[in-house]
């Protein structure tokens, strides 16, 4: 089983990203489970969401305490919450940032940096980075195919918005691959 924890801020779409990932993973033939932690729902407040991916139905219902993968939608969260708390040794940490892995001083983790905000602004005209980060997720992990993410994005959004988000997924995917 792979456990994924998403860290974002209210309004960035972390909860939606988790559900898209779950739908995509299921379409890819895996069993998935996604759920958020609900707090006081304010724009900008730290938000956490969880995804589990396995080859059989996932029964456990506890939160993810020891993630294999961290998807960080907002790098300023490092100052506010213990983003890597409980993460497995060698966990993959994907950060939306203009910085470099060494800036984050996270020894023992496999840190990848991607400027998803820039790409989101270019394609969507605003800084909602959830689908961009899923492009990076597909590229860095290979756990879910990019096509499956396309499908799940189409289920989530109306056609215009879906097309833009698919374009964004592709752009970030390519950037992360190279």
Partner 1 sequence: MEASHAISEAVKMIKPDVIAAYPITPQTHIVERLSEYVANGEIGAEYIRVESEFAAISACLGAEATGVRAYTSTSSQGLALMFEVLFIVSGMRLPIGMTVVNRALSAPINIWNDHQDSMSCRDSGWLQLYAETAQECFDLTVMQYKISENKDVLLPSMVGLDGFTLSHVYEPFFIPEQKEIDDFLPEYVPTHAILEPEQPLTLGPIGFPSHYMELRKTQVDAMEGSLKVIEKVFKEYSEKFPAQIKGTRPETYYHIEEYKMDDAQVAFVAIGSVCGSIKDVIDVLRSKGEKVGLVKIVTYRPFPMEALKKSLKNVKKIAVVEKALSPGANGPVFEEICSLLFEAKSDAEVRNFIVGLGGRDVKLDHIQKIFDMAKKGAGKKQEWMF
**Of the two residues 64 and 168, which places its CB atom closer to partner 1 in the complex?**
64
Residue closer to partner 1 by CB (options 63, 147) is: 63
- Looking at the Cβ atoms of 82 and 174, the one nearer to partner 1 is 82
* Rounded CA separation 3/5 (Å): 7
Sole window of 28-36, 84-92, 98-106, 160-168 interacting with partner 1 (rule: CB under 8 A): 28-36
Handedness of CA 41, 43, 44, 47 (dihedral sign): positive
Minimum distance from CB of 17 to partner 1 (Å)? 12
Per rule CB under 8 A, is residue 23 in the interface with partner 1?
Answer: yes
57 makes contact with partner 1 (CB under 8 A): yes
Report which of 46, 51, 45, 9 is spatially closest to residue 30, judged by C-alpha positions: 51
Of 20, 37, 55, residue with least CA distance to 138:
20
Residue 33 found at the interface with partner 1 (CB under 8 A): yes
CB contact at 8 A, 21 and 134: yes
Q: Are strands 46-54 and 69-72 parallel, antiparallel or unpaired?
A: unpaired
Q: Which of 29, 43, 59, 178 binds partner 1 (CB under 8 A)?
A: 59
Whose CA is closest to 65, among 7, 4, 137? 4
Binding stretches for partner 1 (CB under 8 A): 18-19, 22-23, 26, 31-36, 38, 56-63, 65
């Amino acid at each position: 089983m792979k456990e994924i924890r998403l860290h974002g801020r209210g309004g960035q779409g972390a909860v939606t990203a988790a559900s898209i990932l779950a739908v995509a993973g299921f379409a890819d033939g895996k069993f998935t489970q996604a759920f958020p932690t609900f707090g006081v729902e304010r724009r900008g407040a730290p938000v956490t969401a969880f995804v589990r991916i396995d080859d059989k139905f996932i029964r456990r219902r506890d939160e993810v305490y020891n993630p294999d993968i961290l998807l960080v939608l907002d790098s300023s969260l490092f100052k506010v919450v213990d983003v890597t708390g409980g993460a497995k040794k060698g966990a993959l940490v994907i950060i939306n940032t203009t910085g470099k892995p060494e800036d984050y001083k996270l020894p023992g983790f496999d840190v990848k940096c991607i400027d998803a905000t820039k790409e989101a602004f270019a394609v969507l005209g605003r800084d909602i980075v959830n689908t961009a980060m899923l492009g990076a997720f597909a590229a860095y992990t290979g756990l879910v195919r990019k096509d499956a993410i396309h499908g799940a994005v189409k289920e989530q959004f109306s056609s215009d918005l879906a097309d833009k988000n698919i374009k964004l997924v592709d752009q970030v995917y390519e950037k992360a691959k190279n």
